[in-house]
Structure 1
Amino acid sequence: MTCDRLVCANCAAPVSEGRCPVCRASRERLQQQAGVFAGLTPAALLVLLVALIALAVLANNFAV
């Protein structure tokens, strides 16, 4: 999850702007929890998934 669309309940501003201490703390916590795929867009994840499926199909064809 990204903080681009999250709205702070404390100041009603976007969390990504970090206007209040609650926003800054939430933004920092989200950045620390970011995993390997956190920086990828949904389109990039879809391309990765299609590539992995194609690789599996090719591997299956060569194994037979």
Structure 2
Amino acid sequence: MTYDRLVCANCAAPVSEGRCPVCRANRERLQQEGEGPFAALTPAALLTLLVLLIAAVAFLATRTA
């Protein structure tokens, strides 16, 4: 989940602005969690990669059979 749309329950400001200590702590936590290899990919991009992978496996299966 991205923090650019989250609203802080403590100060009612967007978490991405980091206005209060709660916002800053959650922003830092979300940034650290989002450092994986697929963190920057959108769900549409992940779905496209999955479809391409399935197509490649199907293609290789038909070539060897």
Identity of aligned residues (%): 72
Number of aligned pairs? Answer: 64
1:56 corresponds to: 57
Report the alpha carbon displacement of residue 32 of structure 1 after superposing the two structures with TM: 0.7
**Gaps (5+ residues) in structure 2?**
none
Equivalent residue, structure 2, for 1:36: 37
SS at match of 2:38: coil
Provide the rounded CA distance (Å) in 1 between the counterparts of 2:8 and 2:37: 25
Deviation at 1:60, TM superposition (A): 1.0
In structure 1, list runs of 5 or more residues that go unmatched.
none
- Quick one: higher RCO (CA 8 Å, sep 6+), 1 or 2? 1
TM-score, normalised to structure 2, is 0.85
CA distance in structure 2 between the partners assigned to 1:49 and 1:4 by the alignment: 26
Please, what TM-score do these two structures have when normalized by structure 1?
Answer: 0.86
| Residue aligning to 1:18 | 18
The question of 1:46 aligning with 2:47 is answered yes
